[in-house]
Structure 1
Amino acid sequence: MEQQASKIIKVLKSSKLRVTPQRFAVYANLLGRTDHPTAEQILQDLNQHSPISSQATVYSCLQALQEVGLVRQVLLEEGICRYDANVQPHHHFRCQTCGAIEDLAWDILQSPNLEKLRPGTRPQGYELTVYGICAECAH
């Protein structure tokens, strides 16, 4: 645990971020998850045992982490912003029954033909979301 903490501190410092208890807690929480939580879920997780953060602080931490590329927003459903500490290129699978979200390796899906976009459009990247029923719900 202590080794993980020193790794997180090193990553935050190398990203030129001031290491605050809240920023550390938000980033550590995201690194330990694969469920792509909302800011509210992170806040609830952090304050589960004792209040250490506010909603505004969590949003501020997430914004700072995003700005330096340690965290990214994932928009998998309308009006709900989720966060992911896996900033490597990857796609997502979202179960339409239980809502579970799973990372998909970048290379398992064929790249879209971005040259067919409207003339003048300058794509800067893409990510695909596959919708369906997960293995647990299919049983």
Structure 2
Amino acid sequence: MQKQADRVVQILKSKGLRVTPQRFAVYANLLERLDHPTADQILNDLNQDAPTSSQATVYLSLQTLRDAGLVREVLLEQGVCRYDANVEPHHHFRCRCCGKIEDIEWDAFEGLSFRKLRAGLKVDSYEITVNGVCDRCQH
């Protein structure tokens, strides 16, 4: 975790940002999770033992971490913004029964083509969300 803390300090400072305990707490929480939490879920986790973080602080920390390239926003369902510390290119699977979200490797899809897009559209990036039923919910 010390290497990660050093990386956070380096990136935040390189962006001219102050390194605060709140930013560390939010980022550390995200690094420990694979469930792509909402800001409110992060806030609840941080305040579980001793309420010290406000909703505004968590949102501002997430924005700062996103702007520094440490966190990405993931929009997998309408009106819900989730956060992911995995900023490498990847896709997502979302279970329609339990809501579990898991990462899918970037190269999991073969033969993806953009040839049939309307003329004039230029693709800069893309992300695939696969909806279905996870193995836990199938039983």
TM-score, structure 2 normalization:
0.89
Change (3 A) 1:60 1:137: same
Does the CA contact (< 8 Å) of 1:8 and 1:28 recur in 2? no
CA deviation after TM superposition for structure 1 residue 108, in Å = 1.0
2:110 corresponds to which residue? 110
Alpha-carbon displacement from aligned partner over 1:20-68 (angstroms, at most 9, x marks no partner): 0111111111111100000010111111111221111111111111112
- 1:86 matched to 2:86: yes
- 1:20 matched to 2:20: yes
Q: Distance in 2 between matches of 1:111 and 1:43?
A: 41
SS of 2:107 mapped into structure 1: helix
Q: Which moved more, 1:70-79 or 1:50-59?
A: 50-59
- 1:130 matched to 2:138: no
Alpha-carbon displacement from aligned partner over 1:89-119 (angstroms, at most 9, x marks no partner): 1111111110000101111112532232222
Change (3 A) 1:29 1:79: same
Paired residue type of 1:110: E
The answer to which structure has the higher helix fraction is: 1
Q: Any gaps of 5 or more consecutive residues in structure 2?
A: none
- 1:66 matched to 2:58: no
Change (3 A) 1:85 1:111: farther
Q: Distance in 1 between matches of 2:69 and 2:30?
A: 13
Paired residue type of 1:81: C
Q: Distance in 2 between matches of 1:37 and 1:124?
A: 26
Does the CA contact (< 8 Å) of 1:22 and 1:61 recur in 2? yes
2:97 corresponds to which residue? 97
Percent identity over the alignment is 63
**Runs of 4+ residues deviating >6 angstroms:** none
Does the CA contact (< 8 Å) of 1:74 and 1:82 recur in 2? yes
Does the CA contact (< 8 Å) of 1:26 and 1:61 recur in 2? yes
Q: Distance in 1 between matches of 2:123 and 2:104?
A: 21
TM-score, structure 1 normalization:
0.89
Matched length: 139
Q: Any gaps of 5 or more consecutive residues in structure 1?
A: none
